[in-house]
Amino acid sequence: MTNVDFTISRLGVPQINTPLRALLARKCWPVHFVSDQEQVPFDPNIKTLREVFQKGGEILSVERAGPREKIYFDPQKTKAGIVTCGGLCPGINDVIREIVMQLYYRYGTMEIYGFRYGYEGLIETYGHEVKTLTPDTVAHIHRMGGSILSSSRGQQDSSSMVNYLKKLGVNMLFVIGGDGTLRGALDIAEHAEKVKYELSVIGIPKTVDNDILHIDRSFGFETAFSEATKSIISAHAEAKGVKNGVGLVKLMGRSSGFIACFAALAMNDVNFVIIPEVPVELEGKKGFLEVLKKRLEAKKHAVIVVAEGSMQDVIAGEDLGKDASGNIRFKDAGIFLRNRINAYFKNQNMEVNIKYIDPSYIIRSIEASPLDNVYCLRLAQNAVHAAMSGRTKMVVGLRHGHFVHLPMALLAQGRRQVDADGELWQSVLSATGQPAIFE
């Protein structure tokens, strides 16, 4: 984080009166615009704040998102583009829909292009259709999962992408994707700068795992873990439906266990949660398998939730390399754990009935929940406001309860994980009663 410049990049000085004036600023009514001076502390730690301010220093702060009174682009002369990259996530269509609605109805920008199949769609030679997006074409998409633009993984050549955008006359590009995608978006923006093409690139961070850095939560995450609770309900019913039943639920989460933690807290019939952030010893007296055995002896059933990326260190076998997005291929912790449990109890001559449930894509390709609908809509509104103001190389996000502008470079730096010392994991321990560590 140390190397990131927190100043939000801008294409120039906004000098155009926003068309939202008629909407937001009526006689006798306060004006609903956000001034550039409105900032929120990046990290409101009292001790730090006190120290810095007492010394006359200045703290790190971030701009509040929202409509500006003066904008940079002339809406009616502007063309916008939208692209969705990486895996599906609930709410992508909500974001697309509201970007279109805001541009079209509120700003009067009527030429909006949807690029197909991720960054491939920005490469002319792929020959993918470029969709024209209007309020009519997006009217009903907030009720559907997936992405009407489809997606792909991996980066493409920045120079070719900027050339194509230039050819089409696109001045603002909305990029919906994860940390890899944001690195790609930064490349695009920087290449545009280099060739002096005026292009605002605004990111809307997306990851179903909730592992985006520096924001309160990523859109679609609530929908995903909520849907995952159904697998826990089933696992619990199955586990109680037989003797020594073990309901084992594998959930998404390659490098972070947010879905596993929240799903387990939401449907608190879970006895063990295993996540990538907390190492687990399977064997030994205080190891997981022994603790599971004691649980079964006492209660005759158990429910386990395991994040897919857990226990990578103990899973034997070869390195599986990286996928097209550059993500390390993970070894499936669910199947691994099922096999180890089976082997252990066979060895112990104790009959257990494992019911393995992997909801897989179900939790990420469904329609967004109402709260995620709201979140997506507000992210999209703020993304449009930011682009119109001439900002670029930034993302919109929720931080400490406020919609803010964050430098794209900041979020592209890595991934967020569950803090093994934090409130969330502590709640999980309290809720499940599992030991803080299997050792």
15, 73 Cβ separation under 8 angstroms? no
Residue/partner pairs of 189-196 with CB below 8 Å, 24 or more apart: 189/9, 189/392, 189/393, 189/408, 190/158, 190/393, 191/158, 191/159, 191/161, 191/162, 192/162, 192/165, 195/162, 195/166
From residue 49, how far is each of 41, 54, 55, 57, 58 by CA, in Å?
A: 9, 8, 10, 9, 9
Judge whether 208 is annotated as a binding position.
yes
Minimum separation from the CB atom of position 153 to a copy of itself (A):
9
Q: Which residue has the tokens 């002339």?
A: 74
Judge whether 414 is annotated as a binding position.
no
Exactly one of 209, 211, 358, 372 is catalytic; which is it? 209
Q: CA–CA separation, 32 vs 66, rounded Å?
A: 9
Q: Which is nearer to a copy of itself, 336 or 403 (CB)?
A: 403
Report which residue type is found at 22. Answer: A
Give the torsion sign (CA, 82, 84, 88, 90): negative
Minimum separation from the CB atom of position 11 to a copy of itself (A):
23
Judge whether 180 is annotated as a binding position.
yes
Judge whether 12 is annotated as a binding position.
no
Judge whether 437 is annotated as a binding position.
no
> How would DSSP label each residue in 157-218?
-HHHHHHHHHHHT--EEEEEE-HHHHHHHHHHHHHHHHTT---EEEEEEB-TT--BTTSS--
Q: Which is nearer to a copy of itself, 84 or 186 (CB)?
A: 84
332 is catalytic: no
178, 149 Cβ separation under 8 angstroms? no
Q: Which is nearer to a copy of itself, 3 or 54 (CB)?
A: 54
Q: Which is nearer to a copy of itself, 24 or 315 (CB)?
A: 24
Minimum separation from the CB atom of position 74 to a copy of itself (A):
20
Q: Which is nearer to a copy of itself, 318 or 423 (CB)?
A: 423
Chain centroid to CA 296:
37
Q: Considering only CA atoms, give the Rg of the chain.
A: 24
Judge whether 87 is annotated as a binding position.
yes
Residue positions in the annotated binding site for ATP?
87, 153-154, 178-181
Residues designated as active site: 209
Residues annotated in a binding site for substrate: 207-209, 252-254, 308, 361-364
Residue numbering of the annotated binding site: 87, 153-154, 178-181, 207-209, 252-254, 308, 361-364
The binding site for Mg(2+) comprises 179
